Chain A
C-alpha cells in the first residue's frame, strides 16, 4: 500500500513538472520586450514587498506566547492589530520587526466589536510606517498583498508575503458570538492563515487598505480556504482617534432598525422614541435615503455603513417622511451600554485576561471564525513589566489603558491653557454682550449680562432674567429661557476654564470626532467629556490651534443638548457664541466681553 502511495505521489510530481514544462515551452514565445516587462514588474514588486515588510510586525504576548500580526502607522510606534490578537496578551506585548529586533509594546485602545486594537511600540520615534490607502477605491479583481506571520513561521520576524486579488468589497459579516461584527469589510483570496490575524492587507501600490482578521472556515480545518476578510482602512480611520484615547470603544447604532419592503425601499421597521434620530423626525415606515453621505439601497448597505461608525459621532442622514425629504444630522448611540461593554471585556475587577480556552469556546459552530490564536491554551502570562513599559500602563476599569486617556487630556489642556490660562480667575465673571435670535437681526440685538460665580449665576437676558443655583440638582436649573439650560451651559463652560479637567468633575478624552458632523474622518476635533452632577458636556477642541470650538451640554440623558459654538476668539476668549438645539440656531450672543476676577477680595 505504501508503495502504491509513493507511486501516486511520484506520478503527481511528474505531472506537475510536465505541466510546467508545457507552459515553459509556451513562455519561450514571449518577446524580449514582454520579458523585460515581466522583469520590471517583478523588480517593482520586490520593492513594494520591501516597503511593506518594514512596518509589518509580529505580535506576541509578554512571555512569548500568543501570536498574530500587526502594522505600524506612525513613526512614534502606534500600530494596528486585531483585538483578538491582543486579548490574550493583556496590556503588554512584544513585537518583532523585519530587522529582527523585538520591541516592547503596550495596549492603547480596543474596539472589541470591530475586532480592532491599537498598540504602541516603545523605544523609537522613527519607526517605519505604512502609507494609508483609500479602501473605498478597491474593486474586485484588483491585486493585493498580505504581510504577516502565518503559522508563526518567521523566527527572525521577517513577514511572510502572500498575494491575491480582492474577491469582494463592502461585505457584511454577522457577529459570531456576542460582540464581533465585520461591517463593510474586504474579501480576498490571498492566503490568510492562523497568525495572519491583525496583519496588513495592502493594495498593489503597497498602501495599507485593511487589517486581516477573519476567514471562512468550515469543514476544511483552520487553514486558508481562499476566503479572508479584512477590516477596511476607511473604517479604521474613523475609529483611530477613538482608539488613541485608551478607551474600550463602542460601535454605533441609530436607534432604529430597517428592512426592505416590497418595492425594494429601505424602511424603518422599528424605532426608539428616546433616540436622537426620533427627535430629528424619523418615524416608523419612513424610507432611509442615505446615511453618512452614502446611498442606502438595501438593509445590508445600511448595516455596512452604520457598522463603520464609532459611538457618539454625528453624521448626516437623509430620509423621506410623509412624502417629504429631510436631511438631518444624527448623533449615534452606542451598540452597548457602557457598563455592558466593559463587563463583557473586563471581569468585575480589572485583571489580566487569561488567553486561550475562552476564545476557542466562544467561536462555537459559526461558519465564519476569527483566525485562531496559535497559543498554548491556559498559558497564563506572568507579567513582569520593564520600567519603561510600566510607566505607560495604567489599568482602570472601563479603559484599555488609562495612561493614554490621561496623557491626552493633559495634552489638550496644555494646548488650551497655552492660549490663555484662566485657572486664577476663580472670582466673579461678568459676561456681557448682545443677544438676538438670528444673525441677520444683529442690528436689533439687545444687550445682556451674565454674572457667573462658582456656586450660582445671574442671567439678565433681553426678555427674561433668572438665577440658577449651581450647588443644586443641575437638571432642575435650566431656567425660564427660550433656550433651556443656556445659563447653565455657560456656567459649566466657565467651570472647565477655571477648574480645569482635574477639578471639574470626571473628565475623560473621548477621542476625535468630526468637527462638522459630516461623518467624514477628515477634519476631526479632540473631544473631552466632562460630567458634573447630572450633566454631561462634550467639549470640542481644534486639534491644531487648541481652541475650544464647541460645547454640547446634556442636562439629562435622551435629550437634545444645549449646544454652544464659540468663535471670533480674541485674547483666548470668544466674542461670539452661537446657541443651537437640534439643528436650529436659537440664539446668537454677539460682541461678548468677559470681565474676569480672581478670588473674591483679591481683584
Chain B
C-alpha cells in the first residue's frame, strides 16, 4: 500500500511541478508549450447532424503536410458537404479518401499543403500511469481560428474493448487506452491523445456508455492498433483484418448448438433473437435444464444480442470446457452450466 501511496503522489505531482520537476529529462516541456505546439495539428470538422443529440461537428488530426486528416467514421461524415477548419481559421471542403468501419475511423483529404502535422513514424506508446493531453473540439466550443479545448489526464489502463463487448455497443473491439479525464464528450471523437511531449498516442473514440452501468467510458484507440489501417487508407490499399478477430482467439474444437443439444429458432433477421426452439432429451442442454423458449442472454460474461452473436461466441469456447450461459425465462435471468458430453467427440 505504501508503494501505491507513493505512486499516487508521484503521478499526481509530476504534473504539478511542470518543467521544474523533470530537470534534465527529455520531456522538459511544459504542458502549455506542448499545447501551443499541438494546436496547429488539430482540425475542427463540420458535417451532417444538428438534430438534438446528434452534434454536427467532431474533431480530427492532421497527419500529413498535404492535407490528410484522420477522424472518427460517424454520421457527421454522412454528407457530401464535410468541411474542415484548421487552427488558423482557414476552411476547406473535405473529401473522404478512406474509411475503416471496424475501427470507426475515416481519412479525409483537403486541398492544402505545408500543414503542421503529427508524425506517424514517431508516435507514443503509453502504459498505465502515463500523463496525457487530449485535444478536441468537444461541445464545439472553439470556432474559426480559436484553439480547441485541451484536457489533461493519465492512462488508467490499457485493455481491450472486446472484453466489455455487450456492455459497450461498438464495432471496435481492439485495444484501448482507458483515461481518467473526461475526454469523450460530444464532438471530441477524432481528436488527439498525446503524450507529454506532444507525440500522437491515440485517437479519441466516440462517446460510449456502458449499457450495464450507465457509465461513460473515456478512451482512445492506440496508434499502434490503428496505424496499419491508417496507412492503408492513405495508400488506398486494402484494409488489414480487424485485430481482434484473429484466428487464435477461436477454439480449435468449439461448442455448437448440436453439441449443446438445442435447436435455435431459424435465423431469418439481421439480429434474430437467440431463442431456443427445442431441447434434445439427454443432451448437455437438457441436463443443464435448458427449456424451449429460453432466450440466451449471455455466454460467460459476454452479452448476446442475436443468433449471430451466439454463433460467434460459441466458436471461442473449447468443447472440453464447461459452457456457462445465462438465459431469460419468465422475465428472470437463469444461469446454467453445460458440461461437455462424455465419450467420443
Point out the residues of chain A lying under 8 angstroms from B32, CB to CB. Answer: 139-142, 166
Interface residues of B in 59-111 (CB under 8 A from A): 89
Ordered by A's residue number, 22 sampled pairs between the chains whose C-beta atoms are within 8 Å are A8-B212, A15-B157, A16-B156, A16-B157, A18-B157, A19-B128, A19-B157, A22-B128, A23-B128, A27-B10, A34-B21, A34-B25, A38-B9, A42-B9, A139-B36, A142-B31, A165-B31, A168-B148, A187-B149, A189-B181, A225-B185, A298-B145
The residues of B with any CB-CB pair to A shorter than 8 Å are 3-4, 6-11, 13-18, 20-23, 25, 30-36, 39, 53, 89, 127-130, 133, 138-139, 141-152, 155-159, 181-183, 185-186, 212, 216, 301, 333
**Known A15-B159, A168-B141, A300-B143: A218·B186 in contact at CB below 8 Å:** yes
A216 part of interface (Cβ distance < 8 Å) = yes
Query: Is the pair A298, B144 in contact by a Cβ cutoff of 8 Å?
Result: yes
Nearest CB of chain B from residue A292's CB, rounded to whole Å: 19
Query: Is the pair A141, B23 in contact by a Cβ cutoff of 8 Å?
Result: no
Point out the residues of chain B lying under 8 angstroms from A224, CB to CB. Answer: 182
Q: Out of A33, A45, A165, A187, which one reaches B141, CB within 8 Å?
A: A187
Point out the residues of chain A lying under 8 angstroms from B20, CB to CB. Answer: 37, 41
A467 part of interface (Cβ distance < 8 Å) = no
Nearest CB of chain B from residue A320's CB, rounded to whole Å: 20
Query: Is the pair B6, A37 in contact by a Cβ cutoff of 8 Å?
Result: no
Extra inter-chain contacts (10) besides given A140-B149, A143-B31, CB under 8 Å? A16-B157, A23-B130, A38-B14, A39-B9, A41-B21, A140-B36, A140-B147, A141-B33, A165-B152, A204-B18
The 8 A CB mask of A162-185 against B (1 = contact, 0 = none) is 011111111100000000000000
Query: Is the pair A24, B35 in contact by a Cβ cutoff of 8 Å?
Result: no
A312 part of interface (Cβ distance < 8 Å) = no
Query: Is the pair B151, A165 in contact by a Cβ cutoff of 8 Å?
Result: yes
Instruction: Report Cα–Cα, A226/B139, bound state, in Å.
Output: 11
Point out the residues of chain B lying under 8 angstroms from A18, CB to CB. Answer: 128, 157
Point out the residues of chain A lying under 8 angstroms from B34, CB to CB. Answer: 141
A349 part of interface (Cβ distance < 8 Å) = no
Query: Is the pair A227, B141 in contact by a Cβ cutoff of 8 Å?
Result: yes
Point out the residues of chain B lying under 8 angstroms from A387, CB to CB. Answer: none
Considering residues A21, A141, A187, A298, which has the most beta carbons from chain B within 10 angstroms of its beta carbon?
A141
Q: Out of A24, A167, A297, which one reaches B151, CB within 8 Å?
A: A167
Point out the residues of chain A lying under 8 angstroms from B14, CB to CB. Answer: 38
Nearest CB of chain A from residue B8's CB, rounded to whole Å: 8
Query: Is the pair B139, A227 in contact by a Cβ cutoff of 8 Å?
Result: yes
Query: Is the pair B150, A30 in contact by a Cβ cutoff of 8 Å?
Result: no
User: Which range holds the interface residue count of chain A?
Assistant: 35 or more
Point out the residues of chain A lying under 8 angstroms from B128, CB to CB. Answer: 18-20, 22-23
Query: Is the pair A24, B139 in contact by a Cβ cutoff of 8 Å?
Result: no
Query: Is the pair B141, A189 in contact by a Cβ cutoff of 8 Å?
Result: no
Query: Is the pair A41, B13 in contact by a Cβ cutoff of 8 Å?
Result: yes
Which residue of chain A lies nearest to B188 when distances are taken between CB atoms in the complex? A226
Query: Is the pair B53, A219 in contact by a Cβ cutoff of 8 Å?
Result: yes
A391 part of interface (Cβ distance < 8 Å) = no
Nearest CB of chain B from residue A164's CB, rounded to whole Å: 6
Which residue of chain A lies nearest to B142 when distances are taken between CB atoms in the complex? A168
Nearest CB of chain A from residue B131's CB, rounded to whole Å: 11
Query: Is the pair A168, B16 in contact by a Cβ cutoff of 8 Å?
Result: no
Instruction: Report Cα–Cα, A167/B3, bound state, in Å.
Output: 32
Which residue of chain B lies nearest to A38 when distances are taken between CB atoms in the complex? B13
A367 part of interface (Cβ distance < 8 Å) = yes
Point out the residues of chain B lying under 8 angstroms from A163, CB to CB. Answer: 16
List of 9 A-B pairs having minimum Cβ-Cβ separation, nearest first: A23-B129, A141-B35, A226-B182, A41-B17, A19-B128, A141-B32, A141-B31, A189-B151, A24-B7
Interface residues of A in 146-165 (CB under 8 A from B): 163-165
Q: Out of B127, B149, B159, which one reaches A168, CB within 8 Å?
A: B149
Instruction: Report Cα–Cα, A22/B216, bound state, in Å.
Output: 25
A26 part of interface (Cβ distance < 8 Å) = yes
A220 part of interface (Cβ distance < 8 Å) = yes
